[in-house]
Structure 1
Amino acid sequence: MSSLALAVATVFLLLFAVGVRRDRRRFGNAVLLGLAVTFVGLGLLAGIEDAPPGVAETVMLGGLLVVGLGPIVLAGLLCANGVKMVRKEGRSPGNLLSLLAGLGMVVVMGLAVAAVLTRSPVLGTIVGTTLLVLGYVSFLFLCFVGYAFLYGRLRLRRDAAYVVVLGSGLIGGRRVSPLLASRLDRGREVYEKLAARKRRDGTAPLLITSGGQGPDETLPESHAMADYLVARGFPPDALVREDRSRTTEENLLFSKELMERDRPGSACVIVTNNFHAFRAAILARRAGVDGQVVGSPTAAYFWPSATMREFVAVFLQYKRVNLGICLTLVLLGVAAGAKL
């Protein structure tokens, strides 16, 4: 059993390597890596009976602690983070995600306890079906987080003619926010690294500030972004303003138009916050942009809700497959419950 699981893991690792070589920006790479790690874990567990005395017992005890206490600790941490997020960032739906996730875990654990105590087949079916769906979604989430971590540590490409900094909302409709300032500072750092290298055609890179004007803003985000950089000594003649976009997809598409107009076929480095980097890479691939995405630092408390928001967006990009699988799991759970 152990050798079979490890053989399956090897197959998934090979498929993962092929996928990364073809295009590092595919979500399928994350799933293949997750499957490989899962089967490695199963192989190690299957072979634990051959481990030295005491190892198996220690692993079993550790597993029981993780299964028993892990969800409780995680729910508490998510709720605490959610409260902090609301205090610092406001009560927008995106900022409530970690709090809602923590409360959702508490509800599911409460239903599980109630199902055991009451021995209710209906509650048992509801809990079992919910756990099936949560197991699938959690697996994809871990795949997303793990691969996003790896993607964010790729080497900076050398052939980029452009640096594209993606915009976000302005404070008071005209001032760059700390989140956006982090992107701009990182974009400048990337630009300076590229400018220090000699391109084959002898041209210097250009930096595109990308962002249109929202209904509550007094000027386009790209203009405020450019002003921020120029005020800090960035050369104005190295700046290009893309001021029509309203979404990340439009950031990429309209920036691509500017790049193709002035330097056809050029590659770029796209800069956003680190929690947003992998989804931006997926969107860049879909938009046909030849671009690597790098991330700028983000406050630790912002990570859980922001990462969940990014995952939900990616999950819904593949909604036919994902919702189809979730529906299948619900039907399987209901069918299994009906036989009990």
Structure 2
Amino acid sequence: MYAFVPAALFLVLFGVSVREDRRRFRNAVYLGLTFIFLSVGLLTLVPDLPDGLGGIIVALVFLIPSLGTIALGFFLIGNGLTMIRKEGRSPANLLAFTAGVGIFALIAFVLTLGSRGSRTWDAVVGGVVLLTGYVSFLFLCFLAYAYLYGRIKVRGDVDYVVLLGSGLIGGDRVPPLLASRLRKGREIHDAQIARGGRVPLLLTSGGKGADEKVAEARAMADWLIAGGVPEDHVRLEDRSRTTEENLRYSRAIMESADPGYRCVVVTNNFHAFRAAMMARKAGVNGQVLGSPTAKYFWPSATIREFAAVFWEHKIVNLGMCGAIVALAAVLAVLAINSA
């Protein structure tokens, strides 16, 4: 049973960290390490288990992830083609397709060079696999925890519902992606009033871009008012240009009215966890909720969000990647010298 101690330790760390603040990326890492060490613990039991049960555990730990990786590759390529067809060939829209092709390219690379029987090439392949494994581990941690984070509910009353902007169509019209956020925000607003709570203010956040006729906050507010929200239930933050500024300027408005405010922030579901990390950094007192997004749009958007989170922690991540590359280079040099 000692084999399960590391998994139990990381599970406790996960629980303590989530209780302290749900908006930390380390929560995702603790969750991932819990499953990694749980898998290791299960494998130590295999020799003492009946063949059937032991085979099931081995399949769960090795076979299912392997088949899942191949299935993921096909899914990403198919989704990428859908994304290109519906949204165009911009670099952001090519992310899912590129990731799917990358999975099969990596499999081909490992099978081709890993079978040469050369210690030098083994070191190179090992380095590529470790590097890919590190990034993949972080991505799966991000994906799993983002899913869990997206299940949180609004508990108790809030004073503000902050609605993050995302650009306008034609310079003054709310696009479907932004309308989804506004509908979610209004649902929270209406539900709180319906249960007899205080009236939360809808704080629309977004400045005027160079190609926009009005500030995003103004267009969002007009959309809500046209849909039946009383004008005195709406406040505007119309200076921000980025998500960080959305949160920082909105916090200033809320704090100036009530230093003890409580809020929820609304964005699209693929952006919720990263926005939550930004909200924590900006000192916003509230969690982030996600609104629905078109299913075909979600994979590319999620990959883009992960890339941004990876880069936000670049010192640690680039340090780890550099260490893996250095280790592979040392092993390759040693193999060459011993040949």
TM class, shorter-length? over 0.9
Give the residue type in structure 2 aligned to 1:266.
Answer: Y
Alignment of 1:72-111 (within 5 A): 72-111=70-109
Query: What SS class does the counterpart of residue 269 from structure 1 fall into?
Result: strand
Q: How far did 1:115 drift?
A: 0.6
Query: What SS class does the counterpart of residue 159 from structure 2 fall into?
Result: strand
Match of 1:179 among 154, 177, 190: 177
- Does residue 47 (structure 1) correspond to residue 42 (structure 2)? The answer is no
Q: Summarize the Cα distance change of 1:116–1:321 in structure 2 as closer, same or farther, 3 Å threshold.
A: closer
Alignment of 1:93-242 (within 5 A): 93-119=91-117, 123-198=121-196, 204-242=199-237
Q: TM-score, normalised by structure 1?
A: 0.93
* Structure 2 unpaired stretches of 5+: none
Measured in 1, the distance between the counterparts of 2:34 and 2:116 equals: 39
Measured in 1, the distance between the counterparts of 2:271 and 2:201 equals: 22
- 1:200-237 deviations in whole A, cap 9, x for unaligned? xxx52100011111122111111111111111111111
Q: How far did 1:74 drift?
A: 2.0
Measured in 2, the distance between the counterparts of 1:85 and 1:279 equals: 22
Query: What SS class does the counterpart of residue 259 from structure 2 fall into?
Result: coil
Q: How far did 1:117 drift?
A: 4.8
Give the equivalent residue in structure 1 for 2:265: 270
- 1:14-64 deviations in whole A, cap 9, x for unaligned? 111111111111111111111112111211121122323322234445656
Query: What SS class does the counterpart of residue 234 from structure 1 fall into?
Result: coil
Asked whether the equivalents of residues 11 and 31 of structure 2 are also in contact (C-alpha less than 8 Å), the reply is yes
Measured in 1, the distance between the counterparts of 2:296 and 2:70 equals: 19
Q: Summarize the Cα distance change of 1:108–1:123 in structure 2 as closer, same or farther, 3 Å threshold.
A: farther
Q: TM-score, normalised by structure 2?
A: 0.93
- 1:132-175 deviations in whole A, cap 9, x for unaligned? 11111111111111111111112313131000011102122221
- 1:212-271 deviations in whole A, cap 9, x for unaligned? 111221111111111111111111110011111111101101111111122222110100
Measured in 2, the distance between the counterparts of 1:158 and 1:250 equals: 27
Measured in 2, the distance between the counterparts of 1:172 and 1:119 equals: 60
Q: Summarize the Cα distance change of 1:17–1:232 in structure 2 as closer, same or farther, 3 Å threshold.
A: same
Query: What SS class does the counterpart of residue 54 from structure 1 fall into?
Result: helix
Number of aligned positions between the proteins: 335
What is the identity percentage for the equivalent residue pairs of Structure 1 and Structure 2?
53
Give the equivalent residue in structure 2 for 1:332: 327
Match of 1:286 among 277, 281, 285: 281
Measured in 2, the distance between the counterparts of 1:210 and 1:176 equals: 13
Q: How far did 1:97 drift?
A: 1.1
